[in-house]
A and B are shown apart, each in its own frame.
Chain A
């Protein structure tokens, strides 16, 4: 096809060549007709502006031939930077070890959205891949000029461009541009954050030629951690720095009425910073700061936060006025189909508030010097944090540099963003660099929470036992009372406590699957936040926002329908799921787990310890995951132990299978924790989950024996997310396995022993 035409027609590039000079239509206005036109056009000694439309904003070849890849996201500990380096090295044809990924510093990278939505490879990697491909194209053109050979005839190996058999005729990337910068414009789509995309003219490689992508390359960042050589955000020290701590009210919503500064006058360097609801202290030494925060005498206003009793949380959601309703999906005529149903199956599910409960409470260091602000933050979205700090200090964004330093894992919008803003206000007030760290109770008690929700699901069955209609509804606190980044003061505690009104975002979400029911509707409704300012129950993104909630309900319900229709849960799904990749993961998980086809629950489950298996499957735009949980339930205590998980995972092209496996494992273990143990407790005064006793998480004694992962590699399909998808089916898979074991359906998370025991009796 068209081969003759291709061979016969001179390429555009060839047409542009005259007398050894090359005119290219990229970069700045290009002079031509002299010998070094390409180099003059595409290479510069002065650093171009750090904007998303410049190749230099993503890739630099250093004088020693190593490559810096500037990545406007961050790695939260899953080894993402290894995958990014693999993608860059692959496109550039340099050794993997030649690439260093520089992450999350606003002085070196553009805003690619930080860690967000499991898009590290899907979006962030896509951009770095495009930039690296473009860099290679430009370097080959530069080499063509230097070597006097057409670019088409050149190859690259290990960062050296050569003319194939005549290796003598070669030039290295370092010789071409090392230590200088690409002066090349990219076709930026005008967006920042996750959707940022700025490709060049180069087309990335055909996956069948990959040598580095797809390899299980090891991480290099583990050794510094185990040898205590890796600093965290908490370890940043700045000369002249003081230690800060925040003072929060015992009763949510209370404001300081009076503050007795003399109560801490015996503590060296202790100072109070108070502005409306914002109350913090600093001291020279950290232990002194901790003591001062405890010792400070504060009179608080009377406050009665409108929190329901914990036990009536779900009733509150049921009864609360609907603030916003959206029908997210509508196929056929659902209401008519239900009217004509021979049988209707329905169920309701409940999910609690959950905390990020990061391993350490958040920390931030802020230095303000000559109107220039430097922020060291563990926030997973440092570019947005920079914007927020600039806004709260009333400065232009370019006056603030945010340097991401690994913090305790954040899993979404944890407390790190609030700490950055608090530290900025403290540093601004005391005129010294401030290192602020929260206390444990602030980390768990005052971080933004994953929203609590209820889910009503029903299915219409016809006389032949076919599902003719399906309706999935959620009623919930919105997914973001505060945005998933901290770029606006109203999305932070510091902003809200200094008088900026909450602007609760509205929205929730719906299950993602490919059940081909003829009539199908999915809708959600949100209710107002419980406290409109500075609330310890304000919501924001927690890993796979709303995903665990809705899929716990939807995939539990599919098993309820399967049981009602006396069908095996895998067979039921295969009967209705339409997408071939979905079908493939379901089959792969079932096969690897040795799934025996039968109706749930199993029989003869009368002993003290009973066992069962359950499946669940999901999409997450557009990754697919299916998993089989095998559980043991102690009927005498109600304790659920997930003995084994088998996971089939399809996220398109696999960049690094080892990193992917570990990432999936982390998803599953954390989601088991959220399913079995995690619930933010509160009373009518405040959140009472304030430490690891009052907010328990999975213990190693309860960890599964094994998580068996089947990776489905699809090199031809662009890689998609893995940092969150395997979180969302876990709760339903466990619930389905518990039902299989006991014949009892648990419709509320967490599956605490007392709750399960009560349900069993």
Chain B
């Protein structure tokens, strides 16, 4: 049965009615019109749907909306803007990372949380932090360059 929910997404509050089992991904995409978290697998295996829940990267494809509560949700759109970009966004642009770009949420949102908590990570630590995220186009080396560039920018 549908229930009422109030979600805090990218600093804004949203009221909506949904089946409590609905994964957060579909609420964000279909009810709130936030297109950027993508459906990749629905199994928490790829990362394309990653958002922050109280600062921690989670896979919105397997997180039921009933489990969100009043936690703050931040999507890629809330990570930074063209006017106030997150260093990772700037670095991604400067390194021209994309091939298709469908996987971008996983890498950026996971790396953002990691860099917030780890100021000067080694190459090995960055790789471990990003382990399991999928990129089918093979941009892994560009991603590593961008994360390292962002690390340098963040001092």
The answer on A and B forming one complex is yes
A437: chain B residues within 8 A (beta carbon): 39
Closest residue of B by beta carbon distance from A659: B96
Please tell me if the beta carbons of A359 and B77 are within 8 angstroms of each other in the complex.
no
Which chain A residues lie closer than 8 Å to B138 at the CB level? 665-673, 698
What is the distance, in angstroms, from B35's C-beta to the closest C-beta of chain A? 4
- Produce 1/0 per residue, A676-705, CB < 8 A to B: 000000000000000111000111110111
Residue contact A232 to B140, C-beta cutoff 8 Å: no
Using Cβ atoms and an 8 Å threshold, which residues of chain B touch A78? Answer: 99
* C-alpha gap A76/B54 in the complex (Å): 34
A667→B132 CA distance, assembly (Å): 20
B41 touches A232 (CB 8 A): no
Contact status of A359 and B102, CB under 8 A, knowing A227-B89, A662-B96, A692-B45: yes
B42 with A439: CB separation less than 8 A: yes
**Shortest Cβ distance from A438 into B: residue:** B39
Q: Which of A87-95, A214-222, A516-524 contacts B (4 or more CB under 8 A)?
A: A214-222
Are A227 and B80 in contact (CB-based, < 8 A)?
yes
Chain B residue contacts of A439, Cβ below 8 A: 42
If the complex has contacts A222-B98, A226-B76, are A703 and B141 also in contact, measured as CB distance less than 8 A?
A: yes
Q: Are B136 and A225 in contact (CB under 8 A)?
A: no
Minimum CB distance partner of A218 in chain B: B96
A-side contacts of B48, CB under 8 Å:
359-360
Asked whether B82 lies within 8 Å of A227 as measured between CB atoms, the reply is yes
With contact pairs A227-B85, A666-B138, A669-B139 given, residues A699 and B132 touching in the complex (Cβ less than 8 Å): yes
Q: Check if A230 is an interface residue, CB within 8 A of chain B.
A: yes
A40 proximal to B (CB < 8 A): no
**Chain A residues numbered 636-691 whose CB sits less than 8 Å from any CB in chain B:** 658, 662, 665-673, 691
Complex alpha-carbon distance, A703 and B76, angstroms: 25
**Residues 113-135 (chain B) with a chain A CB within 8 angstroms:** 123, 127-128, 130-135
Residue of A nearest to B23 (CB): A287
List which A352-374 residues lie within 8 A (CB) of chain B: 357-361
Q: Does B55 contact A (CB under 8 A)?
A: no
What is the total number of residues of chain A having a CB less than 8 Å from a CB of chain B? 60
Chain A residues, Cβ within 8 Å of B30? 285-287
Please state if A701 and B43 are interface contacts (CB–CB under 8 Å): no
- Asked whether A511 is an interface residue with its Cβ less than 8 Å from the other chain, the reply is no
Q: Which of A79, A286, A699 contacts B26, CB < 8 Å?
A: A286
Least CB distance from A565 to B in Å reads 35
**By the criterion CB–CB under 8 Å, are B81 and A227 in contact?**
yes
B113 smallest CB distance to A (angstroms): 16
Q: Among residues 340 to 399 in chain A, which have CB atoms less than 8 Å away from a CB atom of chain B?
A: 357-361
Q: Are B108 and A701 in contact (CB under 8 A)?
A: no
Mask of B83-95 contacts with A, CB within 8 angstroms, 1/0: 0010011001100
Point out the residues of chain A lying under 8 angstroms from B82, CB to CB.
223, 227
A226 touches B99 (CB 8 A): no
B128 contacts A359, C-beta separation under 8 Å? no
CA A286 to CA B104, docked complex, whole Å: 22
Q: How distant is A675 from chain B, measured CB to nearest CB, in Å?
A: 12
Whole-angstrom distance between the alpha carbons of A31 and B69 in the complex? 76
Asked whether A228 lies within 8 Å of B100 as measured between CB atoms, the reply is no
Point out the residue from A228, A231, A287, A697 that lies within 8 Å of B134, measured CB to CB: A697
Whether a CB of chain A sits under 8 angstroms from the CB of B73 is no
Report the separation of the CA atoms of residues A706 and B140 in the bound assembly, to the nearest whole angstrom: 11
Q: A235 interface residue, CB < 8 Å from B?
A: yes
Return the CB mask of B21-56 against A: 1 if under 8 Å, else 0: 111001001100111101111110110100000000
* Chain A hits for B103, CB < 8 A: 359
Confirm or deny: B8 has a beta carbon within 8 angstroms of a beta carbon on chain A.
no
CA distance A670 to B103 in the complex (A): 15
Indicate if B7 sits at the interface (CB-CB under 8 A): no
Contacting pair A226 B108 (CB below 8 A): yes
Asked whether B98 lies within 8 Å of A221 as measured between CB atoms, the reply is: yes
CB distance from A671 to the nearest CB of B (A): 8
Indicate whether A408 sits within 8 Å of B127 (C-beta atoms), given known contacts A232-B38, A704-B141.
no
> A228–B96 contact, CB under 8 A?
no
Residue B142 is within 8 A (CB to CB) of chain A in the complex? yes
Q: In the complex, are the beta carbons of A234 and B39 less than 8 A apart?
A: yes
Is B70 in the interface zone, CB < 8 Å from A?
Answer: no
| A357-B45 Cα distance, complex, nearest whole Å | 13
* Residue pair B89, A440 in contact (C-beta under 8 Å): no
Query: CB-nearest residue of chain A relative to B46?
Result: A692
Task: Give the docked Cα–Cα distance between A598 and B108 (Å).
Answer: 44
- Check B140 against A226 for contact (C-beta < 8 Å): no
Taking a contact as CB atoms under 8 Å apart, the answer to whether B144 and A227 are in contact is no
Residue among B39, B46, B81, B99 with max Cβ neighbours from chain A (10 Å): B99
Knowing A77-B100, A670-B138, A700-B131 touch, does A222 contact B22 (C-beta < 8 A)?
no
Q: Which residues of A contact B (CB under 8 A)?
A: 76-79, 218-219, 221-223, 225-228, 230-232, 234-235, 237, 285-288, 357-361, 406-409, 411, 437, 439-440, 658, 662, 665-673, 691-693, 697-701, 703-707
5 shortest interchain CB distances as A-B pairs = A669-B138, A77-B99, A228-B36, A409-B100, A77-B100
Known contacts A228-B36, A408-B136, then 11 further A-B pairs from the complex at CB < 8 Å, ordered by chain A residue? A77-B100, A222-B92, A222-B101, A223-B82, A287-B26, A358-B136, A359-B100, A360-B102, A662-B96, A665-B139, A691-B45
- What are 29 A-B contacts with C-beta separation under 8 Å? A77-B100, A77-B101, A77-B137, A222-B93, A222-B97, A227-B82, A228-B36, A228-B75, A228-B77, A231-B35, A232-B38, A234-B38, A234-B39, A285-B26, A286-B30, A287-B19, A288-B19, A357-B136, A359-B48, A359-B100, A359-B134, A359-B135, A359-B137, A440-B45, A670-B137, A692-B43, A693-B45, A697-B134, A700-B144
